[in-house]
Amino acid sequence: MELLANLALGLETAITPVNLFYCFAGVFLGTFVGVIPGVGPLAAISMLFPITFYLDPTAALIMLAGIYYGTTYGGSTASILLNIPGATSAAVTCLDGYPMAQQGRAGVALFMTTIASFVGGSFGIVILSLFSPVIAEYALTFGPAEYFSLMVLGLVAASTIANASPSRGLSMVVLGMLVATVGTDSQSGVARFTFGSMSLLEGFGISAMAMGLFGIGEILSSVGATRSAKIDSSSAKMRNMLPSRDDWRRSWMPGLRGSSIGAFFGALPGTGPSIAAFMAYAVEKRVSDTPERFGHGAIEGIVAPETANNAADQTAFIPTLTLGIPGSATMALMLGALMVHGIQPGPTLIVEQPALFWGLVMSFWIGNLILLVLNLPLIGIWVRLLLVPYHYLYPAILVFVCIGAYSVRANAADVAMVLAFGVLGYVMRIAQLPAAPLLLGFVLGPLVETQFRRAMVLARGDFTAILERPIAGTVIAISVLMLVWGLGGAMLRRRRKILDTRHQKSVGG
Amino acid sequence: MKKIIAAAIGAALSTTVAFAQGNYPSGPVTIIVPYGTGGSTDLTARAVAIELEKIWNSPVVVVNKKGAGSMIGTTEVTQAAPDGLTLLLNTAAITTAPAIQSDLKFDPVKDITPISLLITSPYVLVGGANVKSNDFSGFLEEAQTRPMFMGTAGPGSSSHFMSELVILGANLPADVVHFSGGGEAQTNMMGGHSDTYISTTASVMPYVNDGRVKALAVLANKRFPLLPDVQASGEAGVKGVDIEGWVALFGPGGMDPALADQINADFAKAMATDSMQKLLTDNYALAGDLSPAEFWVVYERDLKIWKDLAEKRGIGK
């Protein structure tokens, strides 16, 4: 009953006209930012952060959070229509969203992602309000060994995401990990591969890499290509958007699994919506009876990641608000908004600032409802935004991307890095190497290394001590099984193919 | 005509020494914070900027230039003119970072003018779930039977250097484990994965107060007046670890001493206001009261301590 009283208090706070206005402003802005490729939530929130100095902390947080989860709603639109993720968390949605658009089912894809986003978001909010204290306590039992094992699982899963051969996926994961070794060594403080450059001490920025690989890479490859943006604006009509009964039937289990995976990874610091989306997609492909449909417009392939990233968006607030640990740079900004007003985020926040905490939680509900209402009829407008001819849209995006890259650290070198990663992304496209595993390797690589080295110090150099920890040992065992299964499966398929072709030859000959 | 020229020269001359007559600042003042928005240094800067605007009747802009353990923002200040219009607010990181970063583009002694020690607070050694003892003496004994893991906010951070200093000073059987930031170091300690963490009062006291970690020692020769119940390291017979944590103001190298004195006095006025005093009490910290010359001595002493320690313990090698 205490929960109900808390939710009532939260609703009271969230429903004041001022807070409603900032909630609406946040989610609207977030959707807009999400639709435009290259400008992610981090860039948008960074740019708007100074506003919070003039706002009440609750209103400020409601707006910033609105931008954050609004972006995830909007991010899938560009993924589906242009094959460019509007935000990194929507990168996976490209894999099946774009093929759906090519099959003339863009409207259905957009409709389903909105519904999936709403379902995932709602699931995340329920978890957030029910389990905040419990999960916060549970997170403490996760030490370096446990995180290391989870990251290994993530990497193994990552190499099976791409539709390319496992060897290509795996090599891109490794390349991503290698790129991530640039910067200050996490355990000794020694500069690695920086060649005396100050701006490389922090390593390559994730935003620079994502914007470059996915944003600029796409723009570069569209230059000279005669391909025109084939967006059928009629696909955004309500009639063409309604999913078939078969779509619904296929979607509800992936939605449920996606929500759970998303809620789990969102609550773990250092993972977040992008990884949640990757994982949900990988799991869906694994459990599917028809994995070959993935990458060719399988509706499960958009529902799972979209529920996962939205659920993760909401549960990411659990470690941030209950422990004061930001799981990502964006969450760090949320913490900053609190601290600007002298509120110390941490285990005491829920008790000391119940109106703020529960008001924020309730504003998530309202924000998600607004997004649902806003997105279904407004998809037409977002589509029209993307119908702007490329020769107007792309230079504008380039400018946005450069501003965004610069805004993160106010460092001109970051802009150059974005452009360099853009060239890399272009080259990889020509060589048909998948970019998503590269990005995941880049994100997970340093985490694996850092957590492994920490775990080894804490085990005083005895690797078996890591395997003896129940959670860590189990997860590592699962990872090994997955790897064997994946590689074994690929080898079997290959052998069968060779046998088949031989058979055909012998029959034909 | 000659009169006009003479008057013009006179006017020009008088402006060059204007700061000494209280005409500083001649324009908007930029305070560079070498950390991200929302951190404790940033909050201090923003709060003090509000008070300074009232004192100076001139805009004060806080700019965040984070990265490379505060060295990116610091480097930028060293390249500015020493006219007092570009200032730097940094923590003790400005003395620890040069001890391990070999790629610095400035000389930490020549290219920086220490101006004002704004906030001081002692370093506190806190223990987590696995530590059984409740004070420093007990902790030292416990470590003899079970070697400790001292968590830090990262290599080269002040928590790292202080941990190394305690290992050396107390001859403590312990290993250092690096986490990514103080938040992670503290939660790993709460979860019993590591044993201790050292930081200033502002970062550890919220967790000490809600009982999730315990304050084992104040790293000083005598007890800290605001935390009378916490044992001082000196009481347990451990010497050479009595370093204070601080937030301080710096300018580019070669600043006129009179200008530095003036800025020091203006900041002291700002620190004496009610809002700044409240910020200090909330964080269990004290306002510093050193002149630029006195602070310079502390600054150079700390630079040397960390450099020697880095060599002795092989930090950054």
Looking at the structure, do residues B71 and B99 belong to the same domain, yes or no? Answer: yes
Q: CB atoms < 10 A from the CB of A454, how many?
A: 27
Distance CA B230, CA B228 (A): 6
> Is B130 at the interface with chain A, CB within 8 A?
no
pLDDT tier, A375 (very low <50, low <70, confident <90, very high otherwise): confident
**The pLDDT value given to residue A332:** 66
By percentage, how much of chain B surpasses pLDDT 90? Answer: 57
Residue B152, helix vs strand vs coil: strand
Tens digits of residue pLDDT in A321-347: 876 656 665 776 677 677 666 666 665
Does residue B210 share a domain with residue B257? Answer: no
Residues B24/B29/B31/B32 CA torsion (nearest 10 deg): -120
Q: What is the 3-state secondary structure (H, E, C) of A20-45?
A: HHHHHHHHHHHHHHHHCCCCCHHHHH
Q: Which of A47, A194, A458 is nearest to B37 (CA)?
A: A47
Whole-angstrom distance, CA of residue A340 vs CA of residue A54:
10
Domain ranges of chain A: 2-508
Q: Using one digit for the tens of pLDDT, what is the confidence trace for B10-19?
A: 444 444 444 4
Provide the CATH number for the domain around residue B229: 3.40.190.10
In DSSP terms, B144 is beta-bridged to none
Please tell me if residue B229 touches chain A, with a CB cutoff of 8 Å: no
If one counts every other C-beta atom within 10 angstroms of the C-beta of residue A396, the result is: 13
Q: What is the pLDDT of residue A234?
A: 57
Higher pLDDT, A392 or B56: B56
Q: Which two tokens stand for residue A470?
A: 């129940």
Alpha carbon separation from B31 to A46, A296, B249, B265 (Å, rounded): 19, 54, 9, 16
pLDDT score for B12: 45
Q: Using a CB–CB cutoff of 8 Å, tell me whether B101 touches chain A.
A: yes
Least Cα distance to A278 among A492, A74, A444, A398 occurs for A444
Pairing state of beta strands B148-152 and B174-178?
Answer: parallel
Model confidence band, residue B156 (pLDDT cutoffs 50, 70, 90): confident
Q: Does residue A424 contact residue A212 with C-beta atoms inside 8 Å?
A: yes
Question: Which residue type does B301 have?
Answer: R
Instruction: Indicate yes or no: CB of B187 within 8 angstroms of CB of A139.
Output: yes
Per the model's pLDDT, the better-predicted residue between A469 and B36 turns out to be A469
Q: Is the pLDDT of residue B9 over 70?
A: no
**Interatomic CA distance for residues A149 and A143, integer angstroms:** 10
pLDDT of residue A37: 66
A157/A377 Cα distance (integer angstroms): 36
Please tell me whether residues B92 and B112 are part of one structural domain.
Answer: yes
Q: Where would I find the beta strands (DSSP E) of chain B?
A: 29-33, 60-64, 86-91, 112-127, 148-152, 174-178, 196-200, 214-218, 244-252, 286-287
Nearest by CB to residue B191, choosing from A143, A333, A457, is A143
Question: Would the pLDDT of A505 be above 80?
Answer: no
CB-CB contact of A181 with A441 (8 Å): no
Question: If DSSP codes are grouped into helix, strand and coil, which group holds residue A286?
Answer: helix
pLDDT tens readout for residues B166-202:
999 999 999 999 987 777 788 889 889 999 999 998 8
Residue A197: what pLDDT? 77
> Looking at the predicted structure, is the pLDDT value of residue B151 above 60?
yes
Q: Confidence band (pLDDT; 50, 70, 90) for A305? A: very high
User: For position B143, what pLDDT does the model report?
Assistant: 95
Q: How confident is the model at residue B4 (pLDDT cuts 50, 70, 90)?
A: low
- Note whether A454 contacts B191, CB cutoff 8 Å: no
Instruction: Find which of A457, A462, A469, A471 to mutate to test the B interface (most B CBs within 10 Å of its CB).
Output: A457
Q: Does A57 touch chain B (CB under 8 A)?
A: no
- A47 Cβ contact partners less than 8 Å away, ≥ 6 residues apart: A403, A404, A407
| CA of residue B180 relative to chain centroid, distance | 19
Whether residue A196 and residue B179 make contact (CB cut-off 8 A), yes or no, is: no
Asked whether residue B256 falls in the same domain as residue B308, the answer is yes
Most confident among A57-61, A361-365, A415-419, B86-90 (mean pLDDT) = B86-90
Q: What is the largest CA-CA distance in chain B?
A: 89
Nearest to A323 among B156, B187, B282 (CB): B187
What CATH number has the domain bearing residue B117? 3.40.190.150
Query: Chain A residue closest to B183 (CA)?
Result: A325
Per CB-CB distance under 8 Å, the chain A contacts of B180 are: 186, 450
Residues B133 and B191 grouped into a single domain: yes
pLDDT of residue A32: 82
For A145, nearest residue in chain B (alpha carbons): B193
- CA atoms of A44 and A33, how far apart (whole Å): 7
Is position B208 within any domain?
yes
Q: What is the pLDDT of residue B197?
A: 96
Residue B22 has pLDDT above 70, yes or no: no
- Are B221 and B130 contained in the same domain? yes
Q: Which residues of A239-264 are buried (b: 16+ CB within 10 A; e: fewer)?
A: ebbebeeebeebbeebbbbbbbbbbb
pLDDT given at position A316? 86
Percent share of chain B, pLDDT over 70: 92
Binding-face residues of B in 137-156 toward A, CB within 8 A: 149, 154-156
Q: For A176-186, what is the mean pLDDT? A: 86
Minimal-distance CA residue of chain B relative to A324: B183
What CA–CA distance (Å, rounded) separates A391 from A405? 21
Q: Which two tokens mark A258?
A: 């996606």
Average pLDDT, chain B: 87
How far is the CA of B288 from the CAs of B159, B247, B262, B291, in angstroms? 21, 9, 16, 9
Q: Amino acid identity of A311?
A: A
The residue from B236, B262, B284 where one domain ends is B236
A49 in B contact zone (CB under 8 Å): yes
Q: Rounded distance, CA B71 to CA B200, Å?
A: 20
**Nearest C-alpha neighbor of B150 from the set B173, B132, B134:** B173
The partner residues of B197 in beta bridges, in order of sequence, read B126, B151
Final residue in a domain of this structure, among B236, B270, B286: B236
Q: Which residue of A has its CA nearest to B193?
A: A143
In a domain, B92, yes or no: yes
User: For an interface test with B, which of A49, A53, A201 has the most B Cβ atoms less than 10 Å from its Cβ?
Assistant: A201
- The tokens for A231 are 């967006």
Interior angle at CA A489, CA A483 and CA A490, nearest 5: 95
Continuous H helices in A103-244: 106-140, 144-159, 166-179, 206-210, 217-222, 238-241
What is the C-alpha to C-alpha distance for residues A305 and A218, in angstroms, rounded to an integer?
21
What does the DSSP assignment read for A355-411? HHHHHHHHHHHHHHHHHHHHHHHHHHHHHHHHHS-HHHHHHHHHHHHHHHHHHHHT-
Residue B128, min C-alpha distance to chain A (Å):
12
CA atoms within 13 A on the CB side of B75: 18
Q: For residue B5, what pLDDT is reported?
A: 53
Same domain flag for B101 and B133: no
Query: Is A509 in CB contact (< 8 Å) with chain B?
Result: no
Q: Do B255 and B275 fall into the same domain?
A: yes
**Nearest CA-CA partner of A241 in A368, A120, A112:** A112
Band of residue B37 on the pLDDT scale cut at 50, 70, 90: low
pLDDT (0 to 100) of residue B144: 95
Pair B133, B112 in one domain: no
pLDDT of residue B229: 93
If you average pLDDT over residues B148-157, what whole number do you get? 90
Residues of A in contact with B72 (CB under 8 A): 198-199, 201, 411
Nearest to B36 among A187, A323, A332 (CB): A332
Among residues A82, A91, A387, the alpha carbon closest in space to that of A219 is found at: A82
CB–CB contact B67 A325 (8 Å) = no
Shortest CA gap A455–chain B (Å): 9
Distance CA B193, CA A458 (A): 8
Give mean pLDDT, residues A355-376. 87
To probe the interface with B, which of A140, A349, A469 has the most B CB atoms within 10 Å?
A: A140
Query: Which residues on chain A are in Cβ contact (under 8 Å) with B163?
Result: none
List the Cα angle B126/B130/B133 in 5-degree steps: 65
Non-local CB neighbours of A193 within 8 Å, separated by 6+ positions: A181, A182, A183, A200
Above 80 in pLDDT, residue A462? yes
Could you tell me if residue B7 is inside a domain?
no
C-alpha dihedral over A279, A246, A122, A75, to 10 degrees? 60
SS3 B246: strand
| A337 backbone dihedrals φ, ψ, rounded to 5° | -60, -35
Kind and range of the H or E run holding A183? strand A183-184
Distance from CA of B90 to the nearest CA of A (A): 17
CA distance B220 to A283: 54
Interface test with B, best of A184, A330, A411 (most B CBs within 10 A): A184
User: Is some CB atom of chain B closer than 8 A to the CB atom of A199?
Assistant: yes
Phi, psi of B217, deg, nearest 5: -155, 150
Query: pLDDT value at position A15?
Result: 85
- ipTM score: 0.77
Q: Which residues pair with B122 in a beta bridge?
A: B244
Indicate whether A159 pLDDT > 70.
no
Instruction: Mark whether B81 and B137 lie in a shared domain.
Output: no
pLDDT for B146 beyond 60: yes
Q: What is the mean pLDDT of chain A?
A: 79
Domain carrying residue B281: 27-121+245-313
Residue that has been written with the tokens 């009179």 in this structure: B258
Query: Over 60: is that where the pLDDT of B164 sits?
Result: yes
- Of B236, B268, B299, which one is at a domain's C-terminal end? B236
Q: Which two tokens stand for residue A145?
A: 């060994």
Q: CB count, 10 Å around CB of A469?
A: 17
CA–CA gap between residue A425 and residue A419 (Å, rounded) = 10
Could you tell me what percentage of chain B is helix, strand and coil, using 3-state DSSP and rounding each to the nearest 5?
Answer: 45, 20, 35
B232 plus B286 within the same structural domain: no
**Least confident piece of the model among A218-222, A231-235, B274-278:** A231-235
CA distance A216 to A162: 20
Selection from B147, B210, B182, B230 nearest residue A349 by Cα: B210
Does the pLDDT value for residue A439 go beyond 70?
A: yes
Helices (H), A192-316: 206-210, 217-222, 238-241, 245-267, 273-287, 300-315
CB contact under 8 A, A325 and B184: yes
Closest chain A residue to B205, measured at CA: A344
Could you tell me if B246 and B93 are in contact, meaning their C-beta atoms sit under 8 angstroms apart? Answer: no
Phi-psi region at A389: left, alpha or beta (left = phi > 0; alpha = psi -120 to 50):
beta
Please tell me which of the candidates A186, A191, A340 has its beta carbon nearest to residue B43: A340
Over residues B91-97, the mean pLDDT reads: 91
Q: Could you give the CA distance from residue A340 to residue A250 in angstroms, rounded to a whole number? A: 46
- Residue A490: its pLDDT value, please? 75
Tell me whether B191 touches chain A (CB under 8 Å): yes
- The interface residues of chain B toward chain A in range 286-305, judged by CB-CB distance below 8 A, are none
Q: B230 and B296, same structural domain?
A: no
